[in-house]
Amino acid sequence: MAIQKTEAIVLGATKLRETSLITTFLTRDFGKIKAISKGVRQEGSFLTPLYEPFSHVQIVFYEKTRSDIHFLSESAMLCFFPGIRADFEKISWASFLLELTETVLPLEEKNEALFELLLLVLHCMEGASVSPFVSIFEVKLLWGSGLFPSLGSCLRCSRTDFETAYLNVEDGGIFCEHCRDSHRIFYPVPKGLIRTIHFFAENDFSKCLTLKLSPENEAELHRLTYQWIRGRFDRDLSTMRFLREVSLF
């Protein structure tokens, strides 16, 4: 077993037996990994800050070659993000970003750019508001993972000159007004939202911040993600359902 050291962001942790944990990390050098840590909980206690979601930590782990679950030997706090934890809206949105990341990323595929982006977005949310950082990350994660639908032109007639496109999850793309079938389920996607998604996908983070995003546009983007993830993974993200229940989008 090789010993590895890397920076990581805690995506989530589940309790295992009396005092152990399995933690999912997004790491700088190994992508998303899972690691078991033994004897880190007092019986019946909650998690320690090192294993709380969003914590930015330095970890040392023994890399197992025959298992997806490695053995964590050390963890040290780099940033606990107290500003996010103290704010209901911020913690709700940050939780969504972590669940989205955990859901769509495969295990153990290095993606340092995405690690950097999540860390940057958490620091931005720590110091400022939620908007537009959540939206930028959401687009870049889904687009970069190849998970966003094709939004360029109508899948049937290739038209691009529409004001509203109609997304069909099964077909993985959009249709124009004329080509959509009346008996199938479509989600309307305004052209302005498609422009926003392409802008975020194609530009770096600082350029993305120059786009003035309306609250309506952001809410449309979150609704599109919600429908898309439901269709692709056949389940709701619990954090996204919660955000809807408390009317945060």
Q: Which one-letter DSSP state was computed for residue 41?
A: S
Residues 215-234 close enough to bind Zn ion by CB under 5 A: none
Q: Which amino acid is at 127?
A: G
* Nearest-approach distance from CB 176 to Zn ion, in angstroms: 3
In the complex with Zn ion, the residue whose CB is nearer, 160 or 238, is 160
The answer to the question of residue 179 lying near Zn ion (CB under 5 A) is yes
Cα–Cα distance between 49 and 25 in angstroms, integer?
Answer: 14
Cα–Cα distance between 192 and 213 in angstroms, integer?
Answer: 10
Q: Does the CA dihedral 201-207-208-211 come out positive or negative?
A: negative
In the complex with Zn ion, the residue whose CB is nearer, 4 or 153, is 153
In the complex with Zn ion, the residue whose CB is nearer, 119 or 179, is 179
Name the region of 17 (left: φ>0; alpha: ψ -120 to 50; beta: rest). left
In the complex with Zn ion, the residue whose CB is nearer, 162 or 200, is 162
The answer to the question of residue 191 lying near Zn ion (CB under 5 A) is no
Which one among 35, 176, 197, 221 touches Zn ion, defined by CB under 5 A?
176
The tokens of 115 are what? 């690690």
In the complex with Zn ion, the residue whose CB is nearer, 156 or 223, is 156
In this chain, which stretch among 64-72, 74-82, 146-154, 187-195 interacts with Zn ion, using CB under 5 A? 146-154
* Nearest-approach distance from CB 161 to Zn ion, in angstroms: 10
The tokens of 66 are what? 């025959």
Pairing, β 69-79 against β 31-37: parallel
CB atoms within 10 A of CB 237: 20
Which one among 15, 56, 156, 232 touches Zn ion, defined by CB under 5 A?
156
**Residues that bind Zn ion in the complex, under the rule CB under 5 A:** 154, 156-157, 159, 176, 179
